[in-house]
Amino acid sequence: MPMLTVKSIAEATSQKGGTYWKVVGEDDAAYFVWDSKLAKVLRPGATYEVEVKDGRFPKLTAAREVATPDGTAQPVQDEGQPEAEGETERAIRIELVIAIDPQTLGGLIDLLSVLLERPNRK
């Protein structure tokens, strides 16, 4: 997959009234996004692995953010503690969406309270 570092992103309206986004890469190449969900995750300065449908107006069809332009993880260091030699950390963001039947909510709360009372295992 090609890599893209977003320089800018701008919302526009097509001649037929549809909304699209023009994404400009660091190399000044322009790409177009017609999917609002995809457009919402793109940020200037961020680097992505992208899928592009070639044509007169190259269309971004998918994007996965990477930590650095070369695709490697970027180490994160706690400012208060020196980094141990050879050790690096990476910030990880996890989002979890759960659909819960209201009748089972009480059981789920009981289960979570039991799990939270357990000591951390490493």
Domain definitions of the chain by residue range: 3-66
Q: pLDDT by residue (tens digit) across 64-119?
A: 888 665 555 443 333 444 444 545 555 556 565 666 667 777 777 787 778 777 66
Q: At 42, give phi and psi (nearest 5°).
A: -80, 135
Tell me what pLDDT residue 92 has.
59
Q: What pTM does this model have? A: 0.55
The one-letter code for the residue type at 9 is I
Chain mean pLDDT for the chain: 78
Q: Which of 2, 65, 6, 64 is nearest to 30 (CA)?
A: 6
DSSP at 112: H
Q: Which 3 state secondary structure label does DSSP give 114?
A: helix
Q: Cα torsion at 83, 87, 90, 96 (round to 10°)? A: -120
